[in-house]
A = this chain, B = another copy of it.
Amino acid sequence: MPETHAVAALAAALGARFEGDGDIRVGGLVHPAAATPDALVMASSPDFLKRIVPGTARAALVAEGADWRAAGLEAAILAPRPRYAMAHVTRAFDAPDALAPGIHPSAAVEPGAEIGEGTRIGPFVHVAAGARIGADSRLYAHVSVGEGATLGAGALVHAGARIASRVTVGARAVIHQNAVIGADGFSFVTPDAGAVEAARAGGGSESAAQNLALARIHSLAAVTLGDDVEIGAGTTIDRGTLRDTRIGSGTKIDNLVQIGHNVSIGGLCMLCAQVGVAGSAEIGDRVVLGGKVGVADHVRIGSDVLVAAASAVASNVKGRSIVMGVPAVPRDEAVRSVMALRRLPRLMQTVDALKKRLSSMDSDG
């Protein structure tokens, strides 16, 4: 159970003002519909404030200037940007799942592995020889850490995550359930130029070569993640061929994302669920890829680019662009295409009508 906080103390921690009775203690953050006297109500808009049934709550988190007294409350924290305040309040009320100190008796930590001070290792965790795990980390049930892998301090690794051999993870990583860091890259080559090479070299709709054999290019390198990286559940990140696949510090990756071999991603990026980045793509800093976005191999995306959900990036994108579509183009162009396509059936009727009129003019003439 998370502890309770006084409204005044919470406000101070947020760097926000409070009004009313700052001594009221709250033990959680709730929606107006679930209001209780011992929880802070999240009422970021006047509309949410109105939904609080008077008498059900004592304190709320509201926007600067909100009339919280009208909602029958006794105190309020006034935030200039309530959504940002929510980050701090939810952290205050969150607590990691229980995990006993030390190494669970069922875990298998191999000789030669180094476990940092204060680190907790859950049931059935396997840590291979030569792995090093920083201080104050938590590895929950069924996690595996491969030979020679390194995790920084303060890592939170959820059940079933796989950190493969020689992978490097920075400090304060959050790695969710069943994520896989460091699978082999998907890299095969044909003895002679194969079907894909032939298709890229020439045009047409018929394949000019056959893949009669596939030889595997082994992945000799690993994966390096910076500090404060978050990796979603079921996400897979492949190791590089000769140099590590790299994810920069502060980058957050959602669930079921695929990162191919040799990819390089900068810092503070956000990759939403089911994104796929093909081998050797290079992505700058602070890039946002919406859900289900695909990035083709070897493509370069500059810093501060936004790619709308469900887009497919097939060629380089310069920094600060907003792109969308399949294939992705600048947003204005994509919007124009969608609008034009919607009016296309009517355009066809117009052209038909013009044709007829012209024909009748011809025959008139």
Contacts and interface: CB of A to CB of B under 8 A. Distances in A.
B98 A128 contact: yes
Number of copies: 3
A253 to B, nearest CB: 8
A340 B344 contact: yes
A3 interface: no
Interface stretch (A4-12, A51-59, A64-72, A237-245): A237-245
Interface string A93-124: 11001100000101010000000000000111
A247 interface: no
A204 B331 contact: yes
A47 interface: no
Interface string A191-215: 1100110010001111100111111
A283 interface: no
Interface of A: 28-31, 33-34, 42, 81, 83-84, 86-88, 90-91, 93-94, 97-98, 104, 106, 108, 122-124, 126, 128-129, 140-142, 144, 146-147, 158-160, 162, 164-165, 174, 176-178, 180, 183-184, 186, 188-192, 195-196, 199, 203-207, 210-220, 230, 232-234, 236, 238, 241-243, 250, 252, 254-256, 258, 260, 268, 270, 272-274, 276, 278, 286, 288, 291-292, 294, 296, 304-306, 309-310, 312, 314, 320-323, 326-327, 329-333, 335-338, 340-345, 347-348, 350-351, 354-355, 357-358, 361, 365
